[in-house]
Structure 1
């Protein structure tokens, strides 16, 4: 998010929630709810938010969780909308927005997890009680299928930039891990806070939505914070060195934020998200010689410097790399300037039936237009990237991420349905 965002505080806890804390529980509530007063900037993230467990402002021109300093953990969920009623979908989006406002501030959903009528389920599942906001951000997107004719009367409002991704060479996509009508990306420094958020949104949506697939992530593989230590992926290499900075307003405007021109005025200030589940053949990679690994990436494994350079952030000399080097093929100079903002995470989901780790990269990329962002870059990589021997794309989805929620009267996607 950029510096022009609102910094309004989240709504105060309800009277019933305050009464429910009571006595010694009030001290706990001061952490769970009052922790939001130490909110941090959500534009770039140079503040020590992870140390303070502070809150990222929910309201603003852009949704948090895009240019926001990347948190440590992820719970991403794709939903199918099961209702056929437009009014029910709009009501759901309003309810989700109000719940997101509270959870990102470190507060419970609705009237809380306890203290209400004993014969009724509580409004909040309760597993985040006592935990700080942990920089939780919730980012919502609309999938292409939501715009199908005859569903919700918005078929004429599908943005031209929200294209169905082509089939790339080497894809082995699992339909059970692809697509979706809606998505919610929950990022936080505490995994329980992120899981709690998705769990509660899924509970609120019961009868109107159902989770199609979800993905847990750890170990961020890209950074949007200038000067921060570059994280490493599951192959041991630094990733995202030259990612767009969350404080670079000019680059964000040029490459990330949609301008709302043409048929998608409602998307002004939004972005387009591509999510890809990339399985890494870890066991095969671990047997590859170091020199081969470095040649494949185009960087040395220790410092992360490009071939022929001394420091990680030195400008790469692409022609010094092999023509099949990953860095060379992904670089904007190789793809007519195509530039994306990456927010990927590592994942490990147990083992497969052969005892191999089901591990890899859950790739998340935001861009102004999928046609000039992810698609040309992936075509370049799919055609000749030497890394393809060790990876395979097994899940895929694309979403239109609307602009931010401006204030407490606004809600996710309001401009689309207005």
Structure 2
């Protein structure tokens, strides 16, 4: 057997799992405490925000995602495959993520544990009203990401006989690393053949109508939208509060088209984070782009100035692909471990490619077993989705697990809410998804896409500016 350093005694053709003691984070993947990682106790005199992890909700967040205290252990665990600079470049343990910047937060930001994403239809046709909404949303987003209430008087300090300017469910909660990321759908530019808001010629060529991929079962109520807001946080109530208040501020100008709650991130966007697992139990996003990969981000995520001057408002932005993917959980749970690993192309425990090595070993698609068949099957997910099979293009993923009750037939309505940021969906998403839909046994047998959206995400907001300001200049 070649290329299989982790031999498994029960199955010589399958690489074995890494020993628990070698996993990032310590014995059996248990994260060290915040005190152990930082060398500080709760009484070290740090300001209240810096002690957010010590609040009740902070402790719950630590229990759910491994905690800020795990950063040191994770970094040490990853040193074997890549130098770690996230501790210097990314404030993975800071309770507040800055809203202003060259790029919008919530893209390369270390992925938080919770998601609330909502798409809106714009009901007004008045350009001035739309611009005012974006300005109001900017002010509210800056306040909420800093842990403050919306409006001048917040939830309890305004006139007693008037509705509060903030709904109040996030009172006494920390910012919980809240990020709000905004995007524009094709319907903002034109609808029913008519140009909207004076944006003639401003729709980027890359903001296409996604094709209908084989196997799609898209539901109109879960698809499309003129605007989208991605709220990510380590506290679900903080994320829900953010979307709720943006919808409240937009009353009379926008209405919610669809929304999605997510838990348990399925991608890591920093090397200071351990690779997460999806609802099939496999590590997801091992080969994801990371915040430390600045040159790769420029190549695959960030939009550059284009040939059309009308599109330069997108320079420094990206494109967000959202796909609601229902997993056939019950069928998967009756599938053998051998078949599960063959469908994915990796071991379930360690996440190593079936060609051998550890999680971060590059897959060897030429290695064969005793019977001459490739150790990584030809129709496996890893093979078909790998950059080597897709012209080298890559994407930055920020997906989340979801469970939305039952589908009415006694099956869980659960799966992956796929989110990816790409430089150009025509080259960095559509070809790969077509290949997966046609040839990936996992996609054909165990997944069903029920919702979809593509949005142009403008660059970050400068102080004094507003979301998408360049579009309306």
Same fold (TM over 0.5): yes
Rg bigger for which structure? 2
CA shift for structure 1 position 33: 12
CA shift for structure 1 position 402: 0.1
Q: Where does residue 369 of structure 1 map in the other structure?
A: 424
Q: Deviations over 1:47-66 (max 9, x none)?
A: 896766x1001110000000
Q: Do the aligned residues in 2 keep the contact of 1:33 with 1:107 (CA within 8 Å)? A: no
CA shift for structure 1 position 318: 2.2
Q: Where does residue 144 of structure 1 map in the other structure?
A: 186
Query: Does 111-120 or 341-350 show the bigger shift?
Result: 111-120
Q: Where does residue 251 of structure 1 map in the other structure?
A: 296
Q: Deviations over 1:95-139 (max 9, x none)?
A: 000000000000010121002101111110000011111100000
Q: Do the aligned residues in 2 keep the contact of 1:33 with 1:106 (CA within 8 Å)? A: no
User: Helix, strand or coil for the counterpart of 1:155?
Assistant: coil
- Equivalence map 1:261-276=2 (5 Å): 261-263=306-308, 264-276=311-323
Q: Where does residue 258 of structure 2 map in the other structure?
A: 213
Q: Where does residue 325 of structure 1 map in the other structure?
A: 380
- Equivalence map 1:245-324=2 (5 Å): 245-263=290-308, 264-319=311-366, 320=374, 321-324=376-379
Q: Do the aligned residues in 2 keep the contact of 1:74 with 1:191 (CA within 8 Å)? A: yes
Q: Where does the alignment leave 5 or more consecutive residues of structure 1 unmatched?
A: 1-29
Q: Do the aligned residues in 1 keep the contact of 2:313 with 2:458 (CA within 8 Å)? A: yes
Please say if 1:225 is aligned against 2:270. Answer: yes
Measured in 1, the distance between the counterparts of 2:147 and 2:49 equals: 5
Please say if 1:352 is aligned against 2:407. Answer: yes
Please say if 1:61 is aligned against 2:74. Answer: no
Measured in 2, the distance between the counterparts of 1:313 and 1:32 equals: 35
Q: Where does residue 156 of structure 2 map in the other structure?
A: 114
Q: Do the aligned residues in 1 keep the contact of 2:355 with 2:365 (CA within 8 Å)? A: no
Measured in 2, the distance between the counterparts of 1:395 and 1:33 equals: 38
Measured in 1, the distance between the counterparts of 2:139 and 2:197 equals: 22
Structure 1 residue corresponding to 2:447, chosen from 382, 385, 391: 391
Q: Do the aligned residues in 1 keep the contact of 2:110 with 2:273 (CA within 8 Å)? A: no
CA shift for structure 1 position 150: 3.1
CA shift for structure 1 position 358: 0.3
Please say if 1:123 is aligned against 2:178. Answer: no
Q: Where does residue 19 of structure 1 map in the other structure?
A: none
Q: Where does residue 12 of structure 1 map in the other structure?
A: none
Q: Where does residue 143 of structure 2 map in the other structure?
A: 102
Alpha-carbon RMSD across the aligned residues, in angstroms, is 1.8
Measured in 2, the distance between the counterparts of 1:384 and 1:416 equals: 39
Displaced runs of 4+ in structure 1, greater than 3 A?
30-35, 44-52
Measured in 2, the distance between the counterparts of 1:305 and 1:369 equals: 30
CA shift for structure 1 position 396: 0.3
Q: Deviations over 1:367-413 (max 9, x none)?
A: 00010111011011011101020001110000000000011x11000
Classify 1:414/1:297 alpha carbon distance in 2 versus 1 (closer, same or farther; 3 Å). same
- Equivalence map 1:70-219=2 (5 Å): 70-110=111-151, 111-148=153-190, 149-219=194-264
Measured in 2, the distance between the counterparts of 1:137 and 1:58 equals: 7
Q: Where does residue 59 of structure 2 map in the other structure?
A: none
Measured in 2, the distance between the counterparts of 1:295 and 1:266 equals: 44
CA shift for structure 1 position 352: 1.5
Equivalences, count: 380
CA shift for structure 1 position 355: 1.4
